[in-house]
Amino acid sequence: MFDTEVWVGLFALTALLYMVKWWQGSRKVKVYRISPQSLERSKEVMLKVLPLVEDEKESVLDAGRLPYPKDTVKSAAKILAYYYWKENRPEELARVKQCFISLARFQPRGEDEELIERRAQREKKRLVRELDYYLTHYPFKARKRTIPAKKQG
């Protein structure tokens, strides 16, 4: 009788752990479509942001100076990172990476300077992890799909 209770408990615990694993693994993934229009829009966004972050300083900047929302700039940077990687242009890819990470410098004002600095450092670490994950996963490691030949009929 004791053996049955132990096995049922182990089975229930195993099922619960598999459900938790499935739930954590079923995250939504944002897919970026590279088209001539999205590439031009991304270049336009980056050309407005790059002069703000290429001063090689680490000081925190006002988020109001950013011409686009951070999510828009991040999406543009990811599109351009893929494009420059595919075109084998490492200098431009390095600029895009630096711009992506430098987005942490843009913080809302109105709070204690020390708090803003800590928030910027945390965001910088998060952005580095996010970009590293993006660069080591899809689409950089994906194989090109081949289109099957049409049947002659």
Q: What confidence score (pLDDT) does residue 5 get?
A: 84
Give CA–CA dist 96/94, Å, rounded.
5
Evaluate whether residue 108 is within a structural domain: yes
- Does the pLDDT at position 42 exceed 90? yes
pLDDT-based confidence at residue 136 (cuts at 50, 70, 90):
confident
Residue 150 phi/psi, 5-degree rounding, is -70, 145
Q: Give the chain's largest Cα–Cα span.
A: 73
Evaluate whether residue 110 is within a structural domain: yes
Half-sphere exposure of 40 (CA within 13 A, CB side): 3
Evaluate whether residue 24 is within a structural domain: no
Evaluate whether residue 3 is within a structural domain: no
Would you tell me how many other CB atoms lie within 10 Å of the CB of residue 68?
15
Evaluate whether residue 83 is within a structural domain: yes
Q: What confidence score (pLDDT) does residue 134 get?
A: 85
- Does the pLDDT at position 145 exceed 50? no
Q: Considering its fold, how many domains does the chain have in total?
A: 1
Q: What confidence score (pLDDT) does residue 54 get?
A: 84
> Which residues form the domain of 110?
30-136
Q: What is the pLDDT of residues 45-76, one digit of tens each?
A: 999 999 988 887 778 888 888 999 999 999 99
Evaluate whether residue 42 is within a structural domain: yes
Evaluate whether residue 114 is within a structural domain: yes
Q: Which of 98, 99, 117, 94 is nearest to 107 (CA)?
A: 117
- CA distances 81 to 4, 19, 130, 134, 147, Å, are 56, 35, 13, 10, 25
Evaluate whether residue 70 is within a structural domain: yes
Q: What is the pLDDT of residues 69-126, one digit of tens each?
A: 999 999 999 999 988 988 899 999 999 999 999 999 998 887 788 888 999 999 999 9
